Structure 1
Amino acid sequence: MKKLKSYLKQQQTPNPNMERKWIFPLTIASIFSLFILFLTTLTSPDGIPFFPLYRSSTVSSAIFVESKLHPLPPSTLPPPPRFAYLISGSIGDGEMLKRTLQALYHPLNSYVVHLDLESPPKERADLHEYVINHPVFVKVGNVFMITKANLVTYRGPTMVANTLHAAAILLRKGGEWDWFINLSATDYPLVTQDDLLHTFSYLPRDLNFIDHTSNIGWKEFQRAKPIIIDPGLYMTKKADVFWITQRRSVPTAFKLFTGENFDVYFSVCLICVA
């Protein structure tokens, strides 16, 4: 009987150790519940909850738009053309030639620069150093210089010979160009090369801008029969061409044709201003 009374007395007396065991887990659970409740109240600047209790179909469709994206079709634009430029200058044109080259430069094109024999050797050497040391020109490898300078006379056959010399260099270096453009150091483009290439990409590659005809008309007397002397062919100093009094007859073994290089200039190089 005494044992029963003592047992009941122990059960009625609270045990402080047992109470402490339940306080700590209950506190942790309460703090965690409050933290979860706090997270559900956080929203983004757009008003979308960071941790939504349920997913809305409208919100999901607004966030994930991959299903609405469609792959773009392959580009149908024609490939851009390639231009070949000859940029020529004379004495004192070295800096202007660099300026024109920089303004016309594009990695797809090819370039030949030339300072004629009238320019001093130092000016030609400075241009040569500029071409071979420019990091972009060296990396792409599409800018060349006629190091053996020619004496070029305006309106004379030496000008034609210099143009053919430049075209031969460009053909030997690859020749993957569609149109040849002859410019001087005083020209400067009014549009970018990207715009020019885009415009000409829609033209057929065999389109020729030279006005080529055998109907020479008045040019037979004014240009075919006169004899013109170009001092650049035999002199080391530049001088203007001159006409002699004698005239020659029109050849009969072949037919004469004429062309205007200014058609090339105005059709292709209207982008330039002197």
Structure 2
Amino acid sequence: MTADKKWLFTLFFAAFISLVIFISSSICGLSSNTFTSSNKPYSAVHRGRGYPPAFAYYISGTRGDVERVFRLLLAVYHPRNRYLLHIGTDGSDEERRKLSALVKSVPAIRAFENVDVVGKPDANTYMGSSNIAAVLRAAAIFLKVDSDWDWFVTLSAMDYPLLTQDDLSHAFSSISRDANFIDHTSDLGWKEDQRILPIVVDPGLYLARRTQIFRATEKRKMPDAFRVFTGSPWVILSRSFLEYCIFAWDNLPRTLLMYVNNVVLAQEVYFHTVICNSPEFKNTTINADLRYMVWDNPPKMEPLFLNKSNYDEMVQSGAAFARQFGKNDAVLDMVDSKILKRSGNRPAPGAWCTARRSWFVDPCSQWGDVNVLRPGNQVKKFEESLKNIVDDSILESNQCK
């Protein structure tokens, strides 16, 4: 082995060890501001079979995203769900304290204690593997803090919902709770040469400051021990599949974690490849990410920013979420007003909100039975879209092709 190759091997091995340590510390570093309150809920939260589904939302942002993360939290808030908010290492401790203060200003959140802010942040190097490490850490935290939820949803500060949580939970009540929404394909095309074969090292795994990924001059061969899949980085995953990824009762998730450690966009490869190479879970895939996005042609790294001109098509798309939005774009106000019925620093109201509706009273400052849903008009389009997507998956004997 030449000196250069020895150096590369040492560097890659060190990066992988850093990745393992990064995820193993997953239960540490939640905000010291634990959301306790003497205002205990008047309604008990019941989860599991026979009750509406519950979601675990991981909402991530970077420096300057505090208000956007908080607004997104309010847009998707429901007492039955769990939430983990994360401002990456490029944000300041002051921003994290501000986010914690905003969260604690909401009466329902103080009462139900179902929102946490990550106090010890992770790097969010979009191009490298530290991103998937942060997502796995979030999943591990959810499983430790409160594992009584059905689906794990990844959102960023540039996302926004297109329906209420009553709508989403009502629609998901009709499908198997083992379903995993992962947009995936094994037809790698140009991605094979530009994203899979190149060898990179993500310094976000071992450096305090965010820097660009390192690229090796050589490329590696495609593996023959497993088949690589790729697709959308935005996923909605079942609790059972995430338990498999975290606890890994066979070695596949760990093996693939080592492999994607040196992949350019690990979040577009990891879950897709794990699930499609797992005999236990490969037939639980629904080939969709339930997102509305508009792309350049040919597509770039991120979709185009959405605005008011996209509103009608966005609403008619039958998607659950859309991205990406500029900060406080007017189209978000349209979604709040017309779909979510939300205003100011208040949660989107649902059947659980019982306070009198007025411009100066938060309807969710009081609540009744949080296990009751009241879906709105937007749910019809989403239910139709969801049914078509699920039916198409059932027709396929094996989604992972």
What range describes the TM-score normalised by the shorter chain of this pair?
0.5 to 0.7
Contact 1:107 1:142 in 2 (8 A): yes
> Any residues of structure 2 matched to 1:169-248 within 5 Å, and which?
169-211=141-183, 219-248=191-220
Partner SS, residue 267 of structure 1: coil
What is the distance in 2 between the residues matched to 1:144 and 1:86? Answer: 10
Partner SS, residue 138 of structure 2: helix
Deviation at 1:215, TM superposition (A): 6.4
> Any residues of structure 2 matched to 1:115-194 within 5 Å, and which?
115-132=87-104, 134-194=106-166
Deviation at 1:115, TM superposition (A): 0.3
What is the distance in 1 between the residues matched to 2:125 and 2:93? Answer: 18
In the alignment, does 2:307 pair up with 1:268? no
Contact 2:290 2:321 in 1 (8 A): no
Number of aligned residues? 197
What is the distance in 2 between the residues matched to 1:206 and 1:180? Answer: 11
| Closer/same/farther in 2, CA of residues 189 and 215 from structure 1, 3 Å limit | closer
CA-to-aligned-CA distance 1:5-54 (integer Å, 9 cap, x gap): xxxxxxxxxxxxxxxxxxxxxxxxxxxxxxxxxxxxxxxxxxxxxxxxxx
Contact 1:83 1:178 in 2 (8 A): yes
Deviation at 1:199, TM superposition (A): 0.9
Structure 2: which 5+ runs fail to align?
1-48, 237-287, 292-318, 326-401
In the alignment, does 2:82 pair up with 1:110? yes
CA-to-aligned-CA distance 1:184-209 (integer Å, 9 cap, x gap): 11222221111111111111111111
AA in 2 matched with 1:88: S
Contact 1:85 1:182 in 2 (8 A): yes
What is the distance in 1 between the residues matched to 2:67 and 2:133? Answer: 24
Deviation at 1:260, TM superposition (A): 2.3
| Closer/same/farther in 2, CA of residues 268 and 108 from structure 1, 3 Å limit | farther
Which protein has the larger Cα radius of gyration, Structure 1 or Structure 2?
1
Deviation at 1:131, TM superposition (A): 3.1
**TM-score, normalising length: structure 1:** 0.64
Partner SS, residue 180 of structure 2: coil
Partner SS, residue 235 of structure 1: coil
What is the distance in 1 between the residues matched to 2:127 and 2:190? Answer: 18
What is the distance in 1 between the residues matched to 2:157 and 2:187? Answer: 33
**TM-score, normalising length: structure 2:** 0.45
Deviation at 1:239, TM superposition (A): 2.7
Partner SS, residue 160 of structure 1: helix
What is the distance in 1 between the residues matched to 2:216 and 2:289? Answer: 34
Partner SS, residue 119 of structure 2: coil
What is the distance in 1 between the residues matched to 2:234 and 2:84? Answer: 21
CA-to-aligned-CA distance 1:44-67 (integer Å, 9 cap, x gap): xxxxxxxxxxxxxxxxxxxxxxxx
Query: In angstroms, what is the RMSD of aligned CA positions?
Result: 2.5
Partner SS, residue 168 of structure 2: helix
What is the distance in 1 between the residues matched to 2:154 and 2:234? Answer: 12
Equivalent residue for 1:81, pick from 39, 42, 53: 53
What is the distance in 2 between the residues matched to 1:146 and 1:216? Answer: 35
Contact 1:87 1:97 in 2 (8 A): yes
| Closer/same/farther in 2, CA of residues 119 and 236 from structure 1, 3 Å limit | same
What is the distance in 1 between the residues matched to 2:184 and 2:158? Answer: 27
Contact 2:96 2:117 in 1 (8 A): no
What is the distance in 2 between the residues matched to 1:209 and 1:190? Answer: 17
Task: Name the counterpart of 1:56.
Answer: none
| Closer/same/farther in 2, CA of residues 149 and 263 from structure 1, 3 Å limit | closer
In the alignment, does 2:306 pair up with 1:257? no
What is the distance in 2 between the residues matched to 1:109 and 1:177? Answer: 7
Partner SS, residue 119 of structure 1: coil
What is the distance in 2 between the residues matched to 1:105 and 1:138? Answer: 13
What is the distance in 1 between the residues matched to 2:289 and 2:196? Answer: 26
Contact 2:185 2:231 in 1 (8 A): no
What is the distance in 2 between the residues matched to 1:128 and 1:224? Answer: 38
Task: Name the counterpart of 2:64.
Answer: 92
Partner SS, residue 183 of structure 1: strand
Deviation at 1:219, TM superposition (A): 4.7
What is the distance in 1 between the residues matched to 2:160 and 2:193? Answer: 36
- Bigger mean CA deviation after superposition, 126-135 or 155-164: 126-135
What is the distance in 2 between the residues matched to 1:200 and 1:235? Answer: 41
| Closer/same/farther in 2, CA of residues 268 and 171 from structure 1, 3 Å limit | farther
| Closer/same/farther in 2, CA of residues 134 and 86 from structure 1, 3 Å limit | same
Deviation at 1:225, TM superposition (A): 2.2
